[in-house]
Structure 1
Amino acid sequence: MKISDKVWVVTGAGSGMGKELAIQIVGKGGRAALVDIDREALLATAAALGEGRTSVHVMSVSDAEAAAALPGAVMAAHGQVDGLINNAGIIQPFVEVEELPMSATERVMQVNFWGTLYLTKAFLPILRQRPEAHIVNVSSMGGFIPFPGQTLYGASKAAVKLLTEGLYAELKESNVRVTVVHPGAVQTKIMANSGLGSPEPALGQESPGISAAQAAREILTGIERNRFRVLVGPDARMLDKLYRLAPRWAVGFITKQMAKLRPQ
């Protein structure tokens, strides 16, 4: 589906991939309803895009009542909604399942899975009424291969993966296209936005992963080509192949790589 002349709801639009998605959507001639819990970050994104092409909606995607009210607010601002990009997400503290508090588990699931489901169900009736529409749910490479220390994050993103693939099957004959996105490492503020601090890369080291701008370009290209599945970044594409060919070996490889990152 083309981006131009369409209204796109983008969650997590205050920073990172969400901000870049909004910038590039407007750059392609679309309009963006910006959604984030961080008011100042949202206003900064809107200011960077100028007047007339965006609207600002401050809310947590994990708030079911706010999610239910959002379609009306977006319709009031733009008169139509053509696409939903469920991008907002958080990670868990870097600890194993045994050590992870249930409060942290519930928060990750609430934002990553329930937030995606709340907004999907809220907007789907409106999207069905459009000549063409698109739902894009951002999972993770952690949604198809496990990363020790991020197991519950991965479980939440695996739930997003299966939810999206099920939606694809259910909506296959409708006017609503569905895409699941699996980003690899991307340079974003997800640690800070997850309440885990903002560690700086060591002197002489570059921040790992591709830029948020490059990730957004790959996602929007996937939307324009109506792809069922978008793997973002070389690491996601490599691990997808490895996990398909030799899943047990791939899990062992990831476990060894994660062990190297732990403090000695």
Structure 2
Amino acid sequence: MKANGTTIAITGGGNGIGRELTLQLLDKGARIAALDISEEGLAETARLAGANADRLTTHVANITDRAAVEALPAAIIEAHGQVDGLMNVAGIIQPFVKVNELEYSAIERVINVNFWGTMHTIKAFLPHLLERPSAHIVNVSSMGGFLPVPGQSVYGASKAAVKLLTEALHSELTDTPVRVTVIFPGAIGTDISKNSGIDAPTAAEAAEGGKQEFKTTSPQDAARMIIEAMEADKFRATIGKDAAMMDKLSRLMPERAAAIIYKQMKSLLG
């Protein structure tokens, strides 16, 4: 689906990749409904949109609240006249500890945001997307969704669920106007730890701090690659050289790939 002239809802639009997607898609002529739990973050996104802000609406929303999410499509259609796309970008990490040390409250929070938040928006928006001549769903999983990362096991499990959900949607929607893409970012230079309320490095940030050849991908570059994947109707896309390499290695030699990540993360787990 080409972005120009469409209306796209983006979760996590108040920071990081979601903000960059909002700004870049506005530049490409799209109308954007940016969704985020942070009113302050959305206000900054609107400020950065500048002259394009007339095609932007912001919606403070907690995606774990099903009733609140179910009200969003009507509000967006009232504001923009239609909704053609959904980008599920919002997500949080867990405290950087092993499962044995992880509190149930943290487990439930990660699953509620990353999986149920994505499910809520899909269920709310999909009936409207199916009515459009062309529409698209983009769900952001993670390199941790196909590769085990010690200290982020529940985060990875939530993103693996997003991966398989997205791939299944791709199949279910084959004979409809709705295309579906799953995204696998590697290490991205965002404030996900801060936004998750976690005083610890993410798996991506930890890998970035270790001895490896790959650099963190900027949110700007990540957003550009995600938009390219959407406009090309790709089934899947990896973001960053780290994600691309580990994607291949995890399929060819999964145990070897897991061992590489364990070695990278071991010092952070105590």
TM-score range, shorter chain: over 0.9
CA contact (8 A) 2:63 2:117 kept: yes
For the residue of structure 2 that corresponds to 1:174, the secondary structure is coil
Give the direction of change, closer, same or farther, for the CA distance of 1:262–1:41 in structure 2 (3 Å limit): same
Q: Does 1:236 align with 2:238?
A: no
1:65-214 mapped onto 2 (5 Å cutoff) = 65-197=67-199, 209-214=216-221
State the partner residue of 2:42.
Answer: 42
1:54-65 mapped onto 2 (5 Å cutoff) = 54-65=56-67
CA contact (8 A) 1:183 1:231 kept: yes
State the partner residue of 2:14.
Answer: 14
Give the direction of change, closer, same or farther, for the CA distance of 1:261–1:95 in structure 2 (3 Å limit): closer
How far 1:262 sits from its partner (Å)?
4.5
Question: Normalising by structure 1, what TM-score?
Answer: 0.95
How far 1:76 sits from its partner (Å)?
1.0
Aligned residue type for 2:126: L
State the partner residue of 1:52.
Answer: 54
How far 1:198 sits from its partner (Å)?
7.5
Amino-acid identity (%): 54
CA contact (8 A) 2:145 2:158 kept: yes
CA contact (8 A) 2:95 2:200 kept: no
Give the direction of change, closer, same or farther, for the CA distance of 1:78–1:233 in structure 2 (3 Å limit): same
How far 1:260 sits from its partner (Å)?
3.5
CA distance in 1, matches of 2:107, 2:31: 35
CA contact (8 A) 1:108 1:156 kept: yes
How far 1:186 sits from its partner (Å)?
0.2
For the residue of structure 1 that corresponds to 2:21, the secondary structure is helix
Aligned residue type for 1:247: P
CA distance in 1, matches of 2:9, 2:90: 11
Aligned residue type for 2:250: Y
CA contact (8 A) 1:189 1:198 kept: no
For the residue of structure 2 that corresponds to 1:187, the secondary structure is coil
How far 1:197 sits from its partner (Å)?
3.4
CA distance in 1, matches of 2:247, 2:215: 18
For the residue of structure 2 that corresponds to 1:90, the secondary structure is coil
Question: Normalising by structure 2, what TM-score?
Answer: 0.93
**Structure 2 stretches lacking a partner, 5+ long:** none
Aligned residues: 260
Q: RMSD of aligned C-alpha atoms?
A: 1.7
Aligned residue type for 1:45: T
How far 1:255 sits from its partner (Å)?
0.6
CA contact (8 A) 1:187 1:208 kept: no
CA distance in 2, matches of 1:253, 1:148: 11
Q: Which runs of 4+ in 1 moved over 4 A?
A: 205-208
For the residue of structure 2 that corresponds to 1:210, the secondary structure is coil
State the partner residue of 2:266.
Answer: 259
Q: 1:47-105 deviations in whole A, cap 9, x for unaligned?
A: 22133110010011111111110101111110100000000000000000011000000
For the residue of structure 2 that corresponds to 1:179, the secondary structure is strand
CA distance in 1, matches of 2:246, 2:223: 20
Aligned residue type for 2:257: A
State the partner residue of 2:31.
Answer: 31
